[in-house]
Structures are given as structure tokens and as C-alpha cells.
Chain A
Amino acid sequence: MKPGRLVTAVAAALLLTTTACGSGFDDKAGTAQQSAGPADLKILIASSGPAEAKAVTDAAAKWASASGNKATVTPAQDIAQQLGQAFAGSTPPDVFYIDAARFADYASVGALEPYADKVTNLDDFYPNLRQTFTYDGKVYCVPKDFSTLALEINTDLWQKAGLTDADIPTNWDQLTAAAQKIKAKGIVPLAMGDTRDRVGAFLVQNGGWWTSADGKQATADTPQNEAALTYVQGLLKDGLVKFPKQLDAGWAGEAFGKGKAAMAIEGNWVKGAMKADFPGIKYTVHELPAGPTGTKGTLSFTQCWGIAAKSKFKDQAIKFVDAMTAADQQMEFATAFGVMPSRQSAQAPYTAKFPEDAPFIAGAAYGHGPVNAPKMDTVLADLDTGLQSLATSTPKAVLQRFDKNAKTALGG
């Protein structure tokens, strides 16, 4: 066999297989929209744990038997990757969780069905959560719940440092003062994650943000933002704030639970973790300290129920989401796995049942959602890199670098 002929033969074989594959991959034009009759809904969730997986599965089963449809809930191992593969293969699940930080990526490529206006009483959802899931002026999907950041204080360490309830910080100066007193006793004052998802709260408290409200422009390099980062840098330099890695913890809640820090800035998920892993620690929760001008600020995190634009059962999927986001169903989820309802009408029953969560709920009014623009993930990851070395770098340089990168990603 001459090498030349071998190559030809292999090439021919390849060509055959590629064409075969190509036809298999092609989208069938105009997927039949099956809106009548029983639907077979596939639901992919990014479960926070077995409690959430069970609660959602039960609720879906209840909805399915009541409405005569079928609903299969699958908890994802790695939802970003699984969704990516499913969209690439043109077989996405009908309903799935979308994290607010990744929402714009999906919306910008047309993967999502903008169904929000068909949901019962859309205006009942908190306005800033609706804003989070708005792309090009259109609300795409409705939030399933939300979380905000607050300040947790370890009661024992607080007393050990000679502090009382009167010392609980309500602004930056008081935070610094309290932290210095704690440090003087040889205790680490504050544990905080080293990413934009924590540091960003200080920007909000100083009236700034990384991008403009519509997410189309990078606005990091402003005096307010620089002042906020300089303040955080000061805390880091003086050893008043430690990142979890410096405390041998995976996240600030772990450092706090192990009693390695007197305070932590974490979201309401810290409740569940403390109950499960560190039941012996006594702590209280307070709203984050306000900035110099008295502006309150926190960050809100949320996920929405996404419906695939390619779903065959859109009508049923919308009905399913409607059922999952009804106020009483949200209360059930809240009880089962400790999230906060995204509907304002569920706020009163929630605060009545969980009065200790008032600081988290209060954050709903002034919490800022994540940067919701497409193609920003690497830019934001790069920002996190800058924030990790904030103790030694110049705040202005970090902000300018973000602006430069974001401008490229946002396209002008």
C-alpha cells in the first residue's frame, strides 16, 4: 500500500463520517410547538444541597399530578457546563436555574424565552431583582428566591473584646473602631471573601458600582469607587480584615464558625451552615455598615427560573414556573432550605416566621445585583484577581484595569 493511497482512503472515510455527523447535528427547522396535551418537562436545578433537591422534586411532583403533566427534576453537578453542552446539542432542559451573574450570557445568545410578562403579577417581585433579569429592556425570567449580605457577629468574641451592643457598627468609622478594639485583644476582627461578591458591597455603600445601571458601560474608575477600595485596602493593611484563605477556611462562614474571626460578611446561607456545622457558636446578624454619606448598601444574589427558547412545552413550563413562584410555595421553599422569597407579598409571612432574618430582608430594598452584561465572566474573574492582591496594589490601577477590559468585552 502506497502512503498516498492510504491517505486518500482515510480522507474518504473521514469525509463520509463527517457528512453523516453533520446531518445528525442539524437542527430540525421549526420544532413543533406542542402546547396542548400532557407535557414532559425536564427541569435542571443547581441544588444547594439534598434539602433543596427534595423540596423542588416534591413540589414538581405535586404540580405534575395536579396538572396532569410529567415533570422530572435533575440536580446538576455543574450547571453551567451541563447547560452549555445541552444548548450545543439542541436538547436543553425545558426549565432550569440561571444564576444572575450568568443570565446575560444566556439571554444575549437567544437561549432564553422571555416569558416574564406571562407570569401572575410580575410587579410583585422585588424591583431590583426584576432589574437583574432584564436584558435589552425586557424582563426575561422571574427570580426563584434571593439572598443578601449582612454582618454576622460572634457574641462570645465580641464580649471578650469588651464590646457591647452599642458598639455594633452602623457606618465605616464605627466598623474600623470596633475592629481595632477586637484586634487589640489578639482576635481577627473580620473575615470576608476576597471577590467582587463581597468587596462590591463597599462600592454600593459609597454610591458607586462597576458598571452603569443598564450594564452597557464600565464605570469603575470614579472617585467614589476609589475611596471605597482605599477603605477596604486600609482594613486589609491593618489586619482588620482577613481573607478566608489566610484563615485556612474555604469561605468566610467557615472561618467565622470555627471562631477564627469575630465578624464575617456573608449571606443568609450562613444560617444553614452554622446550624449544620457549628451549632455551638452564638452569633447575631446585622445590616452592613453604611458608607460615609449614610448610604446603605449590600449585594443581592439570585437565580431565576429560565425557560429554554427551544423548549417544546413553553406554555406548561410557564405554568410550572408560576406555580413554583407562588407566594405560599416560596414560603415552603424558605422553610425547607432557608432561602428568602422573591415576592414582596411573601415578605410579611416570612419576617413573621423568621424574625432573626430581618437584616437580610432589609437588604432587599437596597441590595445591588451582580454585573449583568454578557461576556463579562473573564473580565470579572480578572477583577477578582486584582481584588485578591488589593493589600499591595493601587486601587485606582485595579479600577482602571477593569474599565479597560470591560470596555473591550462590552464592545465600546
Chain B
Amino acid sequence: MADSKRTSTRSNERLAGWLFIAPVVAVLGLFLVVPILMALWVSFTDWNGQGSPFQSGVPFAGLDNYTGLFAHDGLVRQNFMTSIRNNAYYVIVVVPLQTVLALGLALVVNNRMLKGKGFFRTAFYFPSVTSSVAISVVFLFMFANTGAINEILGFFGVSGPQWFADPRGVLHLALDAVGIVDVNAPPAALSGHGLLGLSWWDWTSGPSVAMCAIIALVVWTTSGTFMLMFLAALQNIPTQLDEAGLIDGATRWQRLRFVTLPQLRPTMFLVLTLGLIGTWQVFDQIYVMSKGNPAKTTLTPAYLSYSTAFRDFDYGSGAAISFVLFLIIVSLTLLQRRALRERP
């Protein structure tokens, strides 16, 4: 008797629960899950953008759009691999830089001795709340050939590069500067052989000069947001811990390294994950500032997916690129979770 009553209460609750989340399920399903499934279908077809992709005449391509990105020697694979290379260098530079900068800013703002905390907090956070398009345009002016950056460099006697017209990779330039290789005559061992449509020389270019300008912009805009997250975490750490360290005779650096940082581990994971996802999806800065130029060195998978679908009407290939990008992000996030796991 009591048992059956409990079950019926339970099932009532279950029904009520479903009712309560029904609007969200419907909205998310309709505007998130269904479009994703439709895009997945498009990635298996050669749909040319005429009419619906679900009508009978649309040619089914199977995995062709995916194999085209990896297996067939051609422009599609070359563009895709170039975009992967560009974005990988971008991630490798941006994520550590913005994390360290954000942590540094948070430590400064969290300092009890600092006067005018509110001002600095706002100042550091300000770039994050400004429209990325507006900031991109301002950076275009700053990095112009006779812009502020090159004027400052010129003041120190350095002749600045033509930022957005310079496709040379910084790794190549660095190697050239120490005399190991010549940028204009790459060693045949590297340029003659390659992987997945790009020569080793191309793979090892590093971010281009143009990409560096975009990297500077992104680090500057996003570190404010992440600073806020670190700041919240820092303020949650009881001061007693720090004081205990002080009593034990730990130096300032030891307290940061062995007391504060371990406490920040969950926030660190959050910041790194959000940073990783955000940097792999970079689109608006590219769209506004460079459109993949010069010489495709700022091409990223997100922008390539857009241009393949909406410029070339190759919707299948464009959708396939975005799903590969999705897989890259998911697997990297899983790897990172594993690396940052707390060891017992």
C-alpha cells in the first residue's frame, strides 16, 4: 500500500519534471539539436544549395566530403590542412598567453595593498565587453604600415613589418635570423617532402606575421574575462592558508606555487577549456580583419567552412569541415581533462 502510493507520487513527480523542462527541451531541440542533425546529413551529400537538402534528387556522397579533406590530393585538402596548421599555431600561442596574463592580472587586482581596485578591474575587463568587430577595426588601424605599432617600433629604430600583408611564418623568420635556413630558399629536405598535402616546410612555418597581429588582439580582449574567473576563485581562497604558509617560512613564490595554484586547479581547467574551445572556433576577427589573407596564413577551419559553403556552394564539404572541427575540439578537451585530473 505505502509502496504503491510512493510509486505514484514518484511518477507524478516525473511527469511534472518533464512538463517543467519541456519548453527548454523543445527550444533546444528545435534550434540546436535538429539543425545539427540536418547539418550532419548535409555533410554526407553533394547538396548544391538549390531547394531543400532533404528532397529525393539530392546526390548522396557518403563519406566523400570527409575523405576529400584527408585522403585526396587536391586544393580541398590543402586548404583544410593549411587552416588546421594556422589554427593549431594560433591555439598554441593564444591559450598559454591569455591564461598566464589573466592569472597575472587577477593576482595584481587581488592584491590587498592595491589602491583603486575597482578601476583596474574595470579597465582590464573592458576589452571583453566591447564588440569584437569594433576592436578588430581599431587594431587594423594600429597595425597599419604607418600605424601606431610601427611608429612605436620606429621610435626604437626597428622598422616594423607590413603586418597584414606579410605571410611569412615567424618560426621561419627566427630560423632565418640565426642563419639556419633561408626563407626565400627553403631546404629541399623540408620543402620536398610533406604530410597530408603540405610540405614539412609549410607545416613548420609558425604563425605568420599577420596572424601575430590577430593573436595580440585576441589575447588582449579575452584575458579580461578569464581574469574575472581567476579573481573570483582567488577571493574564495581563505587568507588563513596563505598566512599558514607565511608562518612556515614560505617565500612569496613558494606560497603562490604550493598554496594558491593548487587551489585554482578547477578554475584553471575552466579557463583552459573555454580558451581551447574559443580559439579553435575563431571566426569574427578573421572575417573582419583578413578573410584568410595574406597567402591563406590566417585561414582557420571555421572561416574555411563558411567560405566553402556560402562562397563556393559546396555545402557538403563546408559542413564536413565543421564536424571535423567539432571532433578536434571534443578530443582535445578530453585529453586536457585527463592531463589536469587530480591525482590521488
Complex interface: stretch among A39-47, A67-75, A242-250:
A242-250
Complex interface: stretch among A21-29, A226-234, A299-307:
A21-29
Q: Does B216 contact A (CB under 8 A)?
A: no
Q: Does A382 contact B (CB under 8 A)?
A: yes
Q: Does A272 contact B (CB under 8 A)?
A: no
Chain A residues positioned under 8 Å from B308 (CB to CB): 378
Could you tell me if B30 and A27 are in contact, using CB atoms closer than 8 angstroms? no
Could you tell me if B25 and A13 are in contact, using CB atoms closer than 8 angstroms? yes
Chain A residues positioned under 8 Å from B34 (CB to CB): 14, 17-18, 21
Q: Does A55 contact B (CB under 8 A)?
A: no
Complex interface: stretch among A84-92, A175-183, A206-214, A320-328:
A84-92
| Interface residue SS majority, chain A | helix
Q: Which of A21, A26, A88, A409 is close to B50, meaning CB atoms less than 8 Å apart?
A: A88
Could you tell me if A27 and B48 are in contact, using CB atoms closer than 8 angstroms? no
Q: Which of B48, B54, B74, B312 is close to A377, meaning CB atoms less than 8 Å apart?
A: B312
| CB proximity to B under 8 Å, residues A363-402 | 375, 377-379, 382, 385, 388-389, 392
Nearest B residue to A29, CB-CB: B55
Chain A residues positioned under 8 Å from B53 (CB to CB): 25, 88
Nearest chain A CB to B223's CB is how many angstroms away? 29
Chain B 156-171, CB-CB to A under 8 Å as 1, else 0, gives 0000001011010000
Could you tell me if B165 and A405 are in contact, using CB atoms closer than 8 angstroms? no
Q: Does B4 contact A (CB under 8 A)?
A: no
* Interface footprint category on A: 35 or more
Q: Does A162 contact B (CB under 8 A)?
A: no
- Contact A378/B312 with A17-B34, A109-B49 known, Cβ cut-off 8 Å: yes
Could you tell me if A246 and B145 are in contact, using CB atoms closer than 8 angstroms? yes
Nearest chain A CB to B53's CB is how many angstroms away? 8
- Contact A25/B52 with A13-B25, A14-B37 known, Cβ cut-off 8 Å: yes
Could you tell me if B51 and A88 are in contact, using CB atoms closer than 8 angstroms? yes
Chain A residues positioned under 8 Å from B14 (CB to CB): 1
Could you tell me if B49 and A88 are in contact, using CB atoms closer than 8 angstroms? yes
Q: Which of B50, B165, B314 is close to A110, meaning CB atoms less than 8 Å apart?
A: B50
Could you tell me if B37 and A246 are in contact, using CB atoms closer than 8 angstroms? no
Nearest chain A CB to B11's CB is how many angstroms away? 10
Could you tell me if B312 and A375 are in contact, using CB atoms closer than 8 angstroms? yes
**How far, in angstroms, from A80 to B310 measured CA to CA in the complex?**
7
Nearest A residue to B315, CB-CB: A88
Nearest A residue to B33, CB-CB: A14
- Contact A18/B37 with A90-B51, A375-B312 known, Cβ cut-off 8 Å: yes
Nearest chain A CB to B278's CB is how many angstroms away? 24
Complex interface: stretch among B198-206, B239-247, B292-300:
B292-300
- Contact A405/B184 with A377-B312, A388-B293 known, Cβ cut-off 8 Å: no
Q: Does A120 contact B (CB under 8 A)?
A: no
Could you tell me if B52 and A27 are in contact, using CB atoms closer than 8 angstroms? yes
Q: Does A166 contact B (CB under 8 A)?
A: no
- Contact A26/B55 with A14-B29, A14-B33, A246-B165 known, Cβ cut-off 8 Å: yes
Could you tell me if B37 and A379 are in contact, using CB atoms closer than 8 angstroms? no
Chain A residues with CB under 8 Å of chain B are 1, 9-10, 13-14, 17-18, 21-22, 25-27, 80-81, 84, 87-88, 90, 105, 109-111, 243, 245-248, 375, 377-379, 382, 385, 388-389, 392, 405, 408-409
Cβ-closest 8 pairs across A and B: A25-B52, A245-B165, A109-B48, A405-B75, A248-B145, A385-B295, A88-B49, A377-B312
Q: A10-B25, A10-B33, A81-B310 given. 16 additional CB < 8 A pairs?
A: A14-B33, A18-B38, A21-B38, A25-B53, A25-B55, A26-B54, A88-B49, A88-B53, A105-B313, A247-B145, A382-B79, A385-B293, A388-B294, A389-B295, A405-B75, A408-B74
